[in-house]
Structure 1
Amino acid sequence: MGSYNVMDGGEDRWSGQMNLLASLDLDILGIQEAKHWDRNDGARLNETAEALGMQPLFAPSRSHGCHLVLLFRWPRVRCRRFQADISCGRFHHAASRAQLVVEGFDQPLCVLHTHLHPFSPSARLKEAGWLTEYAAPDRLSLIIGDLNTGGLTDKDPDDWESVPAHLQSRHRLVRSDGSYAGTDRRAMSALMGAGFIDPPQHLGITPPRTAGHWGGGSEPWDRRSDYVLLSPRVAPALHNHEVVDTPESRGLADHLPVVDTFVTSPG
C-alpha cells in the first residue's frame, strides 16, 4: 500500500503519474492534492480509478481544493464502510476513515487517510489528536497521507539558513520571544506516543526522503513528509518500506510515492 501527493492534481503530469502508479500494483493507495478531480461529474477521479484498475473513495478538502482519494483494488480488498470526514470539518484539508476487508487480517483494516495542515505546526498537533485513538493495541489501523512533518529521528536541515526565512514557521518550533528552535515534531510525537509505528524505524533502516527534490522555491531541502503509519497489531505483517525515488518520479511531483509491503497469512 502507498501514499502519494500528486501536486496540484497532477496537471499535465497526470498520465506519467498513472503509469508510475500502475507499475506498482498497489492494493491500497492514498492520493493527496487531487485538485479538480471532482469537476465534470468526477471525470478525473473516474479516469484515475480506470487507469489503476481500482475503486475510488473521495474525501473533499476544506482548503485549496486539495481533495483526498483513497483507492483500493477489488476484489483483493473490499470496502465495508467509508466516512469522508471524521472531524466534522475541523481539519485544514480532510481526514477520512475506511473499513477495508483485506485477506490475511482477522478483522477489517481501519485506514485513515489525511493531509495535515501545511502551514501551522500547532494546527497539525490538534489534527493529530483526532487520530491518536486508532493506535489502540486491539485495533488494526493505518494512517496514510502527507503529514507535513518529519519523523522523530529524522535530521534537521544541516543549515537552517538555507531554508527561506518565510517558510521556516511551517516547520520549526517558535520560542516565546518569537525566535526559532529546531523542527516542530509535536504532531508526530503525539502519534508515536499514542502507539503508532513508523515503518523504516521498525525495520531499522534510514528513512528515505519523500520531498525536497523539486526545487524552484517549493521548500527545496531533503525531508520526509509522506507516511504509512501502523498500529501495533499491523506492524508484525510489515515486510518492506521504500520511496520511489527515480529520475522519472522526481519529474512528476514535488513529493515521491511511499510504498509499504505487508505479508499476511490468509484466513
Structure 2
Amino acid sequence: MVALSVYPDQLSFLGGAMNLPADFTSHRFAAGRERANTLKVVTLNLEAGGWDGHHGQHQRLDLLPELIGDADLVLFVEGKEFSLHGQELRFHAERLLADLGLRSFMTRSVIGELHDLVFARWPRLRLVRHYTPDLPGVFHDQIGWLSFEVTGLDRLLWVRSVQWASWNGDVRLDLAQKLTRYAAPDKAAIIGGDLNAIWPDCPGHDEFEPDWLAMPPHKRTHKTLPPGLRPDKAQKVLVSDRRATQILHEVKFVNAGCLAGDMTPTLNHHIDNGQGARIDHLVFSPWLAPAIIPESYRVRCDELSEQASNHRRVSVRLDLGRLG
C-alpha cells in the first residue's frame, strides 16, 4: 500500500476525483491542526538512570518507552553513567525511544555522573543550539540550555532540564538566579526536572509541607531553612527552604501544577517515610504559559511508576494555537 500525502490546496481536485466524503476536509484537517498545535512535555527523574543495584545493571531503563508514552519533549534527569563507555547508555536510551521519534541531547554534570538529558521529537523539534560546559565561550547562565525551532511556534523554544542540589538551599538559590533571564517577556522557555524544592504557596492552594521531624535527623536539614533563617526565635522550627523556587515565582515563571491546582507529591509514597513532597516541576516562561492546558497536567501514580523510580513522572500539554 502506498501512503498518499494530501495538502489542503489539493483537496478540491482530489475530492472530486476520489469521491471523498463532504466532511473530509473539515474533520481530517481540524484534527491535523490540533495535533500540530499540541506539544506534550514530560519530566522524569529515573532514579540513578535506571540502575538496579540488586541485579547490577540498568535494567529499569528498559521501562523508559512505557514511562514516556506519547511525549514530544522529555526533560530527563539522573542520567547515571550516561557519559561512560562512549555514552553507551545514552544511546541505548535513544534506541529504546526510536519508535517514538525522540532524539537525545545530553548536558554533562559538572559535579558527578548524574547527567541532564533532553529527548525531543524529530523533526517536529529541530535543534538550533545546545550550550554544554565543555564548549568555549559558554557563560555560567547558558550551561544546559537548548533552543529549538518548533512547528507552530514563531520563535525559538528554549529548554532546560535541571536537577538542583539536594543538600543545600544556597546552592539551589544560586542555580535559580542563573535561570531568571529566560523569563524575559519575549522568551518561550521551559524548565523541568527535580528542583529538590517545594514551590511557593499560591492563592487558592497550599503545597504539601512535610513533617520534617518524621524523617531521621540526617535527612531533616537538606531541604529546610538553615539556622539563622528559621521562623522561630530559638531557630529550632524546621520549614521547607523555598527561596530558590520563590525566585522563579517572582520573575513570573508559571508552574503547571499550580495552574492545574494539583498538589500531588512527585515522590512515591514510600520515600522519606511518606513525607515526600512536590519537588519535580514543569515551569514555563510568562510568554509561553498561556499555552498550558491545565486539565492535561498529570503526576503519574501507578505500579509502573513505583517500580521504575523514587520519583513520579510529571506531564502537561501545550496548545501553541493559544499563543496567537
Same fold (TM over 0.5): yes
* Residue among 177, 185, 207 paired with 2:242: 185
Provide the residue aligned with 2:252 in structure 1. Answer: 195
| Residue identity in the other structure for 2:198 | G
Matched, 1:150 2:198: yes
Q: State the 1:102 CA deviation.
A: 1.5
| Residue identity in the other structure for 2:158 | C
Measure the CA separation in 2 of the matches of 1:89 and 1:210. 31
Provide the residue aligned with 2:85 in structure 1. Answer: 40
- State the superposition RMSD in angstroms: 2.3
* Residue among 38, 47, 57 paired with 1:7: 47
Greater Rg over alpha carbons, structure: 2
Contact 2:132 2:143 in 1 (8 A): yes
Provide the residue aligned with 1:121 in structure 2. Answer: 169
- Number of aligned residues: 259
Q: State the 1:236 CA deviation.
A: 1.0
Contact 1:2 1:257 in 2 (8 A): yes
State the TM-score, normalizing by the size of structure 1.
Answer: 0.89
Provide the residue aligned with 1:224 in structure 2. Answer: 278
Measure the CA separation in 2 of the matches of 1:95 and 1:223. 27
Q: State the 1:58 CA deviation.
A: 1.0
SS at match of 1:249: helix
Provide the residue aligned with 1:104 in structure 2. Answer: 152
| Residue identity in the other structure for 1:181 | L
Measure the CA separation in 1 of the matches of 2:61 and 2:83. 15
Give a deviation string over 1:45-98, Cα, whole Å, max 9, x none: 11111211211111111223001111101011111111123997979xx95101
Q: State the 1:214 CA deviation.
A: 3.9
Measure the CA separation in 1 of the matches of 2:91 and 2:158. 24
Matched, 1:16 2:63: yes
Give a deviation string over 1:121-167, Cα, whole Å, max 9, x none: 1110011110011111221111111111011121212x322122211
State the TM-score, normalizing by the size of structure 2.
Answer: 0.74
Provide the residue aligned with 1:167 in structure 2. Answer: 219
Judging changes above 3 Å, is the alpha-carbon distance between structure 1 residues 219 and 76 closer, same or farther for their aligned structure 2 residues? farther
Contact 2:208 2:278 in 1 (8 A): no
Contact 1:95 1:114 in 2 (8 A): no
Unaligned runs of 5+ residues in structure 1 are none
Contact 2:45 2:312 in 1 (8 A): yes
Measure the CA separation in 2 of the matches of 1:234 and 1:89. 24
Measure the CA separation in 2 of the matches of 1:219 and 1:6. 20
Displacement over 4 Å in runs of 4+: 86-91
Unaligned runs of 5+ residues in structure 2 are 1-40, 52-58, 202-206, 229-233
Measure the CA separation in 2 of the matches of 1:37 and 1:220. 30
Q: State the 1:174 CA deviation.
A: 2.1
